[in-house]
Structure 1
Amino acid sequence: MSTLLTSRTFRFARQLQSMVQARRFTVLAIETSCDDTSVALLHSPPHSPSIATLLAHKILTCPNRIYGGIHPLASLQFHRRNLMPLLQSLEISQKPDLIAVTRGPGMLAALATGIDTAKGLSVAWGIPLIGVHHMQAHALTPRLVAALNGGEDGVEFPFMTLLVSGGHTILLESRGLTSHKILAETIDIALGDMVDKCARRLLPEEVMDSYPEAVSYGAALEKFCFPEKEPEYAYHPGKTPERKQEDEEKVKRWGEWKLCRPLTKNEKVRFSDAFSFCGLGSTLDRYFSMKDGGPESISVEERKALGREVMMVAFEHVASRIVTALEASQTPPSALVISGGVAANKFLKNILSNYLSHNGHNIRIAIPPQKYCTDNAAMVAWAGLEMYRSGYISAPTVTPVRKWSLDNDTYYGVSDIDCEAGDKNGPGGVLGISGWVKREVEGR
């Protein structure tokens, strides 16, 4: 009798486990917006929206060192060669419930590779498709991380997001899943682009040669300036006695670098809603070209000091805009989320936390793990899942878009070839372009 009960209990447990697994909602995600080809498979219980399991996640990056940066055609060919093998490597045994794919913004041809593949799979499997806003996915990444940790330490709306990468520098207020307001954005190049360009100027050739072809220049510069054996991430805000002493010691040892302090002289630009980084890189180039003895005469130690100075000036510029936004905010944000490739920079986090605290803002700073900071399909899967559960899918005619603002007050017209025009009387931002289909929410 005891053996019989044990056997029945075991079979019942197996059946219950099978039923629970069958009720899981599975998302297949594809990311091809720039030079990273990524796929992911995410599970989430239908009635536990704050919990998720990442079954598989793979990323390949196009080798870019030979081009001195991202090359659109090389990236496109890389996506074409690697996307299908990556999908095959997932060994999907059952068709997913939803396909999420990055729709924009990004490089149009690269996006099209992912979109066309996702549309084909959607038709073949007979499952819905959702085109994800790339920057929305970055902003929601801390919510993904919380879901993967069983729902712990999630970020609730409203929160503020700093999106910093090689292509974007945006300070964003996220009031809801599809309600966002851009508080500041770059008027020229992105922060990551500027750091990469300065890195190619500052890093000695022997250091660059030690890295693989698919190198992140900004990460290489950080490692060069802050060696693991001596991680000197110490930072003192401006106008403090410690900072004054540091500045005097730098001038005494290296002389005047005269690096540009962004937007400190241009009265035509409203300081509170703009970032600018091109001038900082230009003054670094000028210093190298005018150096007595040429660039070769600049020692390794001075290159490290210059790299730290460039990053500090740029990161303080970013921090000043965050302080202004916090002081103007009517509803205090629950957290400051830092996402995008540059979010992996530890010096950035150290400067922001100290700068904000020095100015009386002790806000929680949420930074996802490094593997989720760069472009990846896991964040696309989660963003797609959140949008799906809110009642949205994409039409079969959905197309990639190069420009797509998160700001609710941004609309696109019929004549704008970079984007699918939306309804002028409808919402802007995430929902401000065509291709959305409203569905009935059935508990998912």
Structure 2
Amino acid sequence: MLAHRSLRAPGRSPSWQHTSHRVVRLQRRLLSSRPRPRHLITLAIESSCDDTCVTVLEKTQGAGRGAARLLFDKKVTSDNRPFRGVRPMTAVASHTQHLAGMVQEAMRALPDAGSAAARDKAAGENVLWVDGRPRRKPDFITVTRGPGMMSNLSTGLSTAKGLAVAWGVPLLAVHHMQAHALTPRLVSALEAGRPGKDKKRPGSALSPNYPFLSLLVSGGHSLLVLSRSLTNHAILAEAQNIAIGDMLDKCARDIIPDSELAAASGDGVMYAAHLERFAFPNGPADYAWYVPPAARADEIKIYDSGFGWKLTPPLSEITSMSFEFAGLNGQVIKVMMEHPEMSLEERRLIARHTMRLAFEHLASRLLFALSRSGKVGEEDRMVLRNVRTLVVAGGVASNRFLMHILRGILDVRGFSHIKLVCPPLPLCTDNGAMIAWTGMEMYEAGWRSELDILAIKKWPLDPNSEEGGILGVPGWKNIDEAKS
């Protein structure tokens, strides 16, 4: 009887095992060939006023989703203290002095491209050599186009154009106030991208979702905006004359004693921030006296200080959807002129109630919109029913007393379901990160800017304006629409 002989060749695995190994290798090839999440990178410039800002932002690609990281973020503010306010020529000189060096610093923060990528001809097109090292080239350049001071904007825009041409990448020239409105979505993406987050779920949805309301309050703007989409931000109310930040700056210069104002001058000309610190030396612990007005009648009461002066709330007899701060500013200046020897405690009193009346005035128009008692278009009125978030952005959003008043009034007037969102303090004032993020959202939506665009001093945000809002100005192109 013949001995049993194996059909397997020496040194080879059984057929089932060999097949299993082939399957594993095939799976590995398939996994390695799957498109991995692509990281978009932009270098952004903000120069609309007295801050020179340069930022490098990285985001996991995916419109409306993803995580983001700040690779570089720097701000230099021009010294305008001798002028007690922003002097355009001084700010432009500061932009010119610092911008190139800040861009050079930002380039050093770009991701390392690696020697293999640098040697590869195709990949080499996406590489910048910085200090002899290969760095990944930004996918596009973002810059503030407007609104703002023309010379200041033009300095940043010219630099951004030069970088876009030199590096052969697209340009995104964005709206400054749109960037403020989108800042909470940036915060959401940065939170998703921070170390320690679950890397298996990098595609979490950005928040807040549309639609949401925004109070955009700064030295140059006082707007109540209904944000319906990335490029559709309808203005429900805006200032008739001066902006709330400008009013608070002017009042601070009269209310705060010169000695204290001089001691705080190291922080520049942000006098409104000095006013808050002067009025509340112990911070939020000093808010205990405040009681939110339970009804419109309480909101429009004339304030009698008991020291021989009074303050009347703005537009107390009018329910129009607008803000008016010049009248309150004039009242405060008159009181200070008539009482030059006012004590320190009395000065703190007028500082507190100046801010209270200004902030309650902001809240009043918000309440008109939410309660649908204000003059709001029928289409906007329908959208407002779905609003669950109020975003407060701009320089004045850094005022904690403002946030305390808004939360208190929303709660006492039946709108406790409205979530109040405010960016971290460094992202409330002008910054490059918000410009970079707006560029990211616009880039992923297919938008690009032509290289012949000019800066825009006054750029209406509302799509219903004569100019057509963000997309109404010339110089935009959409590559997604061109493909279709």
Q: Which residue of 1 aligns with 2:260?
A: 207
| Cα offset, 1:163, TM superposition | 0.1
Structure 1: distance between partners of 2:455 and 2:143: 10
Structure 2: distance between partners of 1:152 and 1:263: 40
Q: Which residue of 2 aligns with 1:370?
A: 425
Is the counterpart of residue 434 in structure 1 residue 456 in structure 2? Answer: no
SS at match of 2:228: strand
**Which deviates the most, 78-87 or 231-240?**
231-240
Residues 39-58 of structure 1: per-residue CA shift (max 9 Å, x gap): 10000122473311111111
Taking a change above 3 Å as real, the CA distance of residues 171 and 230 of structure 1, as seen in their structure-2 partners, is: closer
- Of residues 60, 70, 73 in structure 2, which corresponds to 1:54? 70
Taking a change above 3 Å as real, the CA distance of residues 178 and 229 of structure 1, as seen in their structure-2 partners, is: closer
Q: Which residue of 1 aligns with 2:324?
A: 276
Is the counterpart of residue 193 in structure 1 residue 246 in structure 2? Answer: yes
Ranges in structure 2 where 5+ consecutive residues have no aligned partner: 1-27, 111-134, 193-203, 373-380
| Cα offset, 1:440, TM superposition | 2.7
TM value normalised by structure 2: 0.78
SS at match of 1:160: strand
| Cα offset, 1:80, TM superposition | 0.9
SS at match of 1:33: coil
Q: Which residue of 1 aligns with 2:382?
A: 330
Taking a change above 3 Å as real, the CA distance of residues 215 and 120 of structure 1, as seen in their structure-2 partners, is: same
What residue identity is the alignment partner of 2:309?
A: W
Contact (CA 8 Å) 1:389, 1:441: kept in 2 or not? no
Structure 1: distance between partners of 2:311 and 2:409: 20
TM alignment of 1:233-248, pairs within 5 A: 233-234=287-288, 235-238=290-293
| Cα offset, 1:206, TM superposition | 1.8
- Of residues 257, 260, 283 in structure 1, which corresponds to 2:312? 260
| Cα offset, 1:397, TM superposition | 0.8
What residue identity is the alignment partner of 2:240?
A: I
Is the counterpart of residue 298 in structure 1 residue 342 in structure 2? Answer: yes
What residue identity is the alignment partner of 2:245?
A: G
Q: Which residue of 2 aligns with 1:132?
A: 174
| Cα offset, 1:382, TM superposition | 0.5
Q: Which residue of 1 aligns with 2:153?
A: 111
Structure 2: distance between partners of 1:316 and 1:136: 24
Contact (CA 8 Å) 1:66, 1:213: kept in 2 or not? no
| Cα offset, 1:88, TM superposition | 1.4
Q: Which residue of 2 aligns with 1:349?
A: 403
Contact (CA 8 Å) 1:64, 1:213: kept in 2 or not? no
| Cα offset, 1:101, TM superposition | 0.2
Taking a change above 3 Å as real, the CA distance of residues 50 and 257 of structure 1, as seen in their structure-2 partners, is: farther
Q: Which residue of 2 aligns with 1:289?
A: 337
Is the counterpart of residue 165 in structure 1 residue 213 in structure 2? Answer: no
What residue identity is the alignment partner of 1:284?
A: V
TM value normalised by structure 1: 0.85
| Cα offset, 1:26, TM superposition | 0.3
Residues 216-245 of structure 1: per-residue CA shift (max 9 Å, x gap): 1111111111113773123212368xx89x
| Cα offset, 1:213, TM superposition | 5.6
Is the counterpart of residue 321 in structure 1 residue 342 in structure 2? Answer: no
| Cα offset, 1:76, TM superposition | 1.1
Q: Which residue of 2 aligns with 1:403?
A: 458
Structure 2: distance between partners of 1:185 and 1:230: 28
Contact (CA 8 Å) 2:460, 2:470: kept in 1 or not? yes
Taking a change above 3 Å as real, the CA distance of residues 239 and 365 of structure 1, as seen in their structure-2 partners, is: closer
Residues 15-40 of structure 1: per-residue CA shift (max 9 Å, x gap): x8xx969x311011000001111010
Structure 1: distance between partners of 2:205 and 2:425: 18
Is the counterpart of residue 218 in structure 1 residue 272 in structure 2? Answer: yes
RMSD: 2.4
- Of residues 386, 390, 393 in structure 2, which corresponds to 1:339? 393
Task: Point out the structure with max Rg over C-alpha.
Answer: 2
Structure 1: distance between partners of 2:426 and 2:331: 33
Contact (CA 8 Å) 2:391, 2:420: kept in 1 or not? yes
Q: Which residue of 1 aligns with 2:82?
A: 66
Structure 1: distance between partners of 2:267 and 2:370: 40
Taking a change above 3 Å as real, the CA distance of residues 228 and 400 of structure 1, as seen in their structure-2 partners, is: same
Structure 2: distance between partners of 1:251 and 1:342: 25
Contact (CA 8 Å) 1:390, 1:441: kept in 2 or not? no
SS at match of 2:286: coil
**Which deviates the most, 331-340 or 209-218?**
209-218
Contact (CA 8 Å) 1:27, 1:99: kept in 2 or not? yes
Structure 2: distance between partners of 1:69 and 1:109: 17
| Cα offset, 1:209, TM superposition | 1.8
| Cα offset, 1:214, TM superposition | 1.9
Taking a change above 3 Å as real, the CA distance of residues 153 and 396 of structure 1, as seen in their structure-2 partners, is: closer
Structure 1: distance between partners of 2:62 and 2:382: 34
Contact (CA 8 Å) 2:284, 2:401: kept in 1 or not? no
SS at match of 1:177: coil
Taking a change above 3 Å as real, the CA distance of residues 247 and 273 of structure 1, as seen in their structure-2 partners, is: closer
Contact (CA 8 Å) 1:65, 1:213: kept in 2 or not? no
Residues 364-423 of structure 1: per-residue CA shift (max 9 Å, x gap): 0000001111111100011011011111000111111011111111123xxxxxxxxxxx
Structure 2: distance between partners of 1:47 and 1:287: 55
Is the counterpart of residue 310 in structure 1 residue 362 in structure 2? Answer: no
Taking a change above 3 Å as real, the CA distance of residues 300 and 153 of structure 1, as seen in their structure-2 partners, is: farther
Ranges in structure 1 where 5+ consecutive residues have no aligned partner: 1-11, 413-427
What residue identity is the alignment partner of 2:66?
A: S
Contact (CA 8 Å) 1:63, 1:213: kept in 2 or not? no
